[in-house]
Amino acid sequence: MKKLFLTLAIIAGSYGLSNAQTTNKLVVKVTNIQSNKGNIAVAVCNSKETFLGKAIANKSKKAKTGEMTFEFEVSNGDYTVRVMHDEDKDGKLNTNFMGIPTEPYGISMDGKSRFGPPSYEDALFTIADKGVKLTIKIE
């Protein structure tokens, strides 16, 4: 009976280890920070639905002129990252009356906006069994 219990415990433990989700380090270097005013906020998203909405991970730090680095632990998959220089610390990207951002921002993979927000596909990158380092220039 002891042997059976021990064998089952080993099998269960091995099963749990083999099904554990792999996490990888995502390093986001934000460049072109023009002032110390406000915060730099980084949001990591994992679907088209969350791309410009609620992120799966957020970090914010007091702005520092030049560049700053943020680190996240994420599992394998497809992601996008958006960055904003929240100069007035109100927690949102401010825009003018036409919807054009008035605070500096950036998107992963240099996703460009053409008459509206950047596309999900232009900002998409994949993490698969190794870490990823991104550089995002805010403008």
Threshold 0.95, pTM exceeds = no
Q: Read off φ and ψ for residue 121, nearest 5 degrees.
A: -60, -35
Q: What angle do CA 24, 51, 48 make, to 5 degrees?
A: 95
Q: DSSP 3-state assignment of 83? A: strand
Structure tokens at 121: 């596909």
Question: What is the distance between the terminal CA atoms of the chain, rounded to a whole angstrom?
Answer: 67
Q: DSSP 3-state assignment of 113? A: coil
State the virtual CA torsion across 33, 52, 100, 104 in degrees, nearest 10: 0
Per-residue pLDDT of the chain (139 residues; tens, 9 = 90+): 444 343 434 444 444 444 456 899 999 999 999 999 999 999 999 999 989 889 999 999 999 999 999 999 999 999 999 999 999 999 999 999 988 899 999 999 987 766 777 889 999 999 998 899 999 999 9
The CATH number of the structural domain formed by 23-137 is: 2.60.40
| Sign of the alpha-carbon dihedral angle for 105, 91, 73, 70 | positive
